[in-house]
Structure 1
Amino acid sequence: MSEVYQVIYSGKLQPYADESRLVMLFSEKFKLGQEKAQRLIKGGRPIALKKDLDLEKALKFRESLEKLGMVITLDPDPDLQTAEPSELSLGIYGGDDETTEVLDQSQIHRERCPKCDSGNMQLGICQDCGIVAAKFLAAQARGDVPEPANEEVGQDDPYTPPEADLEEPGEGGMVGPRSVSAGRGFSWVAEGWAFFRESPFAWMIALVLWGVVNVLVAMVPVVGAIAVTLLAPTLVAGFMIGCREQEEGESFSPSHLFAGFSHNAGQTIMVGLFYMIISGAIVITMMVTVFGSLESVFPQVGEMDAASAMAVTTPMIASFAVGMIAFVLLLMAYLFAPALVALDDLSAWQAMKMSFMGCLKNLLPLTFYSILALLLFLLNGLFMLLSPVSVVLAGILFGLGLLILFPVQIGAIYSAYTDIYYD
Structure 2
Amino acid sequence: MEPQRIGIGRAFSWFGAGWRNFRAQPAQWIALILLYVVLLLVLNLVPVLGGLLGTVLTPALGAGLLLGAQSGARGDPVRLDHLFAGLTDSRTRLPLLLLGGLALATTFLLAALYLSMADALPAPGAPAHEAPFALESGLGGLLVLVLGLVAVLAFYFAAPLVVFAALGIPAALGTSLRAAARNLLPIALFGLVYALLAVPAAIPFGLGFLVLGPVGIAATYAAFTEIFPGPPGTEAGHSA
Q: 1:408 maps to which residue?
A: 215
Alignment-derived partner of residue 235 in structure 2: none
Aligned partners of 1:261 and 1:233: how far apart in 2?
Answer: 10
Counterpart of 1:218 in structure 2 is: 44
Shift of 1:309: 7.1
* Contact in 2 for aligned 1:195/1:408 (Cα 8 Å): yes
Residue 10 of structure 2 aligns to which amino acid in structure 1? R
Picking from 219, 227, 231, the partner of 1:420 is 227
Match of 2:82 in 1: 256
1:181 matched to 2:7? The reply is yes
Question: Equivalent residue for 1:347?
Answer: 168
**Matched letter for residue 420 of structure 1:** I
Bigger radius of gyration among the two = 1
Structure 1-normalised TM-score? 0.50
Deviation (angstroms), 1:184: 0.9
Greater strand percent: which structure? Answer: 1
Distance in 2, Cα, partners of 1:176 & 1:196: 29
> Hey, which bits of structure 1, 4+ residues long, moved more than 6 A?
none
Note the alpha carbon deviations across 1:210-251, whole angstroms, 9 max, x for none: 122112223334532221111111101111111111222211
SS of match in other structure, 2:152: helix
Equivalent pairs, count:
228
Q: Is the counterpart of residue 243 in structure 1 residue 64 in structure 2?
A: no
* Structure 2 counterpart of 1:362, one-letter code: N
Instruction: Tell me if 1:329 matches 2:157.
Output: no
**1:268 is matched with which residue: 65, 71, 96?**
96
| Conservation of the 8 A alpha-carbon contact between 1:265 and 1:342 | no
Measured in 2, the distance between the counterparts of 1:302 and 1:344 equals: 56
Q: Secondary structure at the match of 1:399?
A: coil
* Equivalent in 374, 380, 390 of residue 195 of structure 2: 374
Structure 2 Cα separation of the partners of residues 379 and 214 of structure 1: 23
* Secondary structure in structure 1 of the residue aligned to 2:46: coil
Once the two structures are TM-superposed, the CA of residue 302 in structure 1 deviates from its matched residue by 4.8
* Structure 1 residues 325 and 259: alpha-carbon distance in aligned structure 2, compared to 1, 3 A threshold: same
Residue equivalent to 1:320 = 141
So what's the TM-score if we normalise by structure 2?
Answer: 0.86
Aligned counterpart, 1:358: 179
Question: What letter is aligned with 2:102?
Answer: F
Aligned-residue Cα RMSD (Å) equals: 2.0
Instruction: Write the letter of the residue equivalent to 2:110.
Output: I
- Verify: 1:292 aligned to 2:120, yes or no: yes
> What is the Cα deviation at residue 345 of structure 1?
1.5
**2:57 is matched with which residue?**
231
Deviation of 1:312 after TM superposition, in Å, equals 4.4
Q: Which residue identity does 2:71 align to in structure 1?
A: E
**Higher RCO (C-alpha under 8 Å, 6+ residues apart):** 2
C-alpha deviations, 1:111-164, integer Å up to 9, x for none? xxxxxxxxxxxxxxxxxxxxxxxxxxxxxxxxxxxxxxxxxxxxxxxxxxxxxx
- Identity in percent: 27
Structure 2 portions without partners, runs of 5+? 231-240
> CA 1:182–1:222 in 2, change beyond 3 Å: closer, same or farther?
closer
1:420 & 1:180 partners in 2: Cα distance? Answer: 7
